[in-house]
C-alpha cells in the first residue's frame, strides 16, 4: 500500500514515535483535562514535548507541569506578553537561568520574538526580544521564535546575535525563500496545523522542496482547537494529536514514506533541543 493511504497510515500511525516541539500544555484551557489528555497523547506515540514559556507569571506553573509529565520546557517572554515591565521580567529570567542552569529539562529560551500585529506591545517587544537573544548566547541555548509580520526584523536580529545552538521558527508559514533565510540563520522550521489547511498553498509548495533535515513538527494550541471543535477528531481517533497528520502530509508532499519522515523529524527535534 502506498504511504499516505488512509488505511495504511492508520495501521502504523500509533507505532510512529513523535515529539511535539511546541505545545502550550501549561495553559489554563487544559486544566480540567490535562491528565487524561497527556495519557491519550502518550498512548498515541508521543515520546516527548517541549512546552515554551510565555510570561514570567506563568513560568512556575509551566515548570511544575513539565516536571509532572516528564516533558521539557523553555523559558521566555512571548511578544504578546511584553509589557513596560519587560526589564524586570528579563532580570527574573536571567536569575532563573542562573539557578536552573543545570536542569536538563530546561532546553530553550522562548517563546520569544516579534509580532507586528500585536501593536500594543510593539515598543517593548524589540528590546525584550534582544535581551532574550543575549541570554540565549550567554547560556548557549536555542531559541523558540514567534515571528509574525516581522521576518526582516527577526532575521536582522539573528544576524546581530549569532546563536551557537540556533533555534526554531515556530508555526512557520512562508515561501521557500523565507524558509531558506531562516535555515541560513541557523533555524529549524516548526510546522504546525496551518499545513493541514486546504488553503495553505504557499506552505504546501514550500514543503515540497524544503529538505527534511530542517523540519520539526508542533501542535502549538491546535489541541485546544481540536478538542473544542473536533476539527481533526475523526482523523486522530480523538487523541488530539495532529503530529501524525503532519507527518503524513509532509510525506505526501515530498513523496517519501511516513516512517522516513517521522524518523528524520524526530532526530531533528532531539538535535535542536539536545534532548
Ligand atoms: Zn506558541
Specify the pLDDT at position 4.
40
Q: How far is the CA of 144 from the centre of ligand 1 (A)?
A: 9
CA–CA separation, 178 and 109 (whole Å): 22
pLDDT averaged over consecutive 10-residue blocks of the chain (275 residues)? Answer: 41 73 93 89 91 96 96 97 95 93 90 95 96 97 97 97 97 97 98 92 96 96 64 56 90 96 97 97
Q: How far is the CA of 29 from the centre of ligand 1 (A)?
A: 14
Specify the pLDDT at position 10.
45
Do the Cβ atoms of 23 and 219 come closer than 8 Å? yes
Q: How far is the CA of 213 from the centre of ligand 1 (A)?
A: 22
CA–CA separation, 131 and 126 (whole Å): 9
Q: Which helix (H) or strand (E) holds 14?
A: none
Specify the pLDDT at position 227.
60
Q: Which helix (H) or strand (E) holds 172?
A: none
Tell me if residue 169 falls in helix, strand or coil.
Answer: strand
CA–CA separation, 240 and 263 (whole Å): 21
CA–CA separation, 81 and 66 (whole Å): 21
Q: Indicate the DSSP class of residue 24.
A: -
Q: Cell numbers 532526530 correspond to what residue?
A: 267
Q: How far is the CA of 166 from the centre of ligand 1 (A)?
A: 18
Q: What share of the chain is helix, strand, coil (3-state, %, to 5)?
A: 50, 15, 30
Q: First vs last Cα of the chain: how many Å apart?
A: 34
Q: How far is the CA of 158 from the centre of ligand 1 (A)?
A: 19
Residue 154 CA from chain centroid, whole number: 17
Q: How far is the CA of 26 from the centre of ligand 1 (A)?
A: 11
Q: How far is the CA of 176 from the centre of ligand 1 (A)?
A: 22
Specify the pLDDT at position 2.
41
Q: How far is the CA of 52 from the centre of ligand 1 (A)?
A: 7
Bridge partner residues of 220 (DSSP)? 23
Specify the pLDDT at position 11.
42
Q: How far is the CA of 220 from the centre of ligand 1 (A)?
A: 5
Specify the pLDDT at position 182.
98
Pairing of strands 106-115, 143-148: parallel
Q: How far is the CA of 111 from the centre of ligand 1 (A)?
A: 6
Q: How far is the CA of 160 from the centre of ligand 1 (A)?
A: 24
Q: How far is the CA of 23 from the centre of ligand 1 (A)?
A: 7
Q: How far is the CA of 218 from the centre of ligand 1 (A)?
A: 9
Q: How far is the CA of 5 from the centre of ligand 1 (A)?
A: 31
Specify the pLDDT at position 233.
55
Q: How far is the CA of 25 from the centre of ligand 1 (A)?
A: 10
Q: How far is the CA of 134 from the centre of ligand 1 (A)?
A: 20
Specify the pLDDT at position 33.
86
Q: How far is the CA of 24 from the centre of ligand 1 (A)?
A: 6
Closest by CA to 139, choosing from 86, 185, 93, 182, is: 93
Do the Cβ atoms of 210 and 179 come closer than 8 Å? yes
Q: How far is the CA of 219 from the centre of ligand 1 (A)?
A: 9
Specify the pLDDT at position 16.
85
Q: How far is CA 176 from CA 170, 179, 183, 195, in A?
A: 15, 5, 10, 14
Amino acid at each position: 500500500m502506498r504511504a499516505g493511504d488512509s488505511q495504511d497510515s492508520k495501521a502504523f500511525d500509533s507505532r510512529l514515535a513523535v515529539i511535539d516541539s511546541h505545545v502550550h500544555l501549561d495553559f489554563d484551557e487544559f486544566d480540567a483535562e490535562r491528565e487524561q489528555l497527556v495519557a491519550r497523547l502518550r498512548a498515541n506515540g508521543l515520546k516527548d514535548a517541549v512546552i515554551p514559556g510565555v510570561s514570567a507569571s506563568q513560568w512556575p506553573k509551566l515548570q511544575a507541569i513539565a516536571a509532572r509529565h516528564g516533558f521539557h520546557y523553555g523559558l521566555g517572554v512571548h511578544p504578546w506578553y511584553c509589557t513596560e515591565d519587560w526589564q524586570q521580567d528579563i532580570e527574573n529570567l536571567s536569575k532563573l537561568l542562573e539557578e536552573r542552569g543545570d536542569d536538563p529539562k530546561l532546553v530553550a529560551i522562548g517563546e520569544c520574538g516579534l509580532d507586528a500585529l500585536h501593536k500594543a506591545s510593539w515598543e517593548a517587544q524589540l528590546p525584550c526580544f534582544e535581551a532574550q537573544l543575549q541570554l540565549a548566547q550567554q547560556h548557549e541555548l536555542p531559541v523558540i521564535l514567534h515571528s509574525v509580520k516581522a521576518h526582516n526584523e527577526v532575521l536582522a536580529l539573528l544576524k546581530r546575535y549569532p546563536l551557537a545552538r540556533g533555534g526554531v521558527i515556530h508555526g512557520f508559514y512562508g515561501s521557500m525563500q523565507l524558509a531558506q533565510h531562516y535555515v541560513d540563520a541557523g533555524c529549524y522550521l516548526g510546522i504546525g496545523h496551518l499545513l493541514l489547511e486546504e488553503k495553505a498553498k504557499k506552505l504546501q509548495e514550500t514543503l515540497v522542496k524544503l529538505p527534511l533535515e530542517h523540519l520539526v513538527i508542533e501542535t502549538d494550541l491546535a489541541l485546544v482547537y481540536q478538542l473544542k471543535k473536533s476539527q481533526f477528531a475523526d482523523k486522530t481517533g480523538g487523541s488530539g494529536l495532529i503530529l501524525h497528520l503532519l507527518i503524513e502530509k509532509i510525506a505526501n508532499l515530498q513523496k517519501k514514506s511516513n516512517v522516513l519522515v517521522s524518523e528524520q523529524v524526530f532526530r531533528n527535534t532531539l538535535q535542536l533541543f539536545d534532548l
